A and B are shown apart, each in its own frame.
Chain A
């Protein structure tokens, strides 16, 4: 079975541009998590969904960040406008349900210049 799929794997953009990161969870999983990893702050949970509904977005750093899950097989994390401090690796993870093991995707390395 395919694991969590993220695209793109690498994204380089200029400050002020809109960035959209994409995630396809493992089929049959109904919980989805977005994380951000930086050297300074480590791994941080940004938001998580259960059955396509955002449950907790308290980790979203500011209004420039938004996440959607229009169906069980697709989620997006959007940053508009992007800033250099948004440069990080963004991971998507999914689990069978809340409380079960989370499987991480390979991540998207975002660089904002």
Chain B
């Protein structure tokens, strides 16, 4: 079955580092989304894309940026990580099918 892949699953990093969270999908579909989930809290949309070279910001303001150069990949980047970025980041595709990736748990020290 088609799937969404996220790497790394867990990341602990120091303040000021640049990080990229990877998300890839094998379904070849256009719509992809990034959600942020703080521990014990609901999910908030931070970025979405309707296809190659299309990216938009979601409901929740985020210092992260995304790119969509290829349909299969939708990476999220933090240029300078801070402790306030500590959270879980979930990538999703074609939500009607309920496809969420396993998430990346980011801890910034």
A and B part of one assembly: no
Chain A interface residues (CB < 8 Å from chain B): none
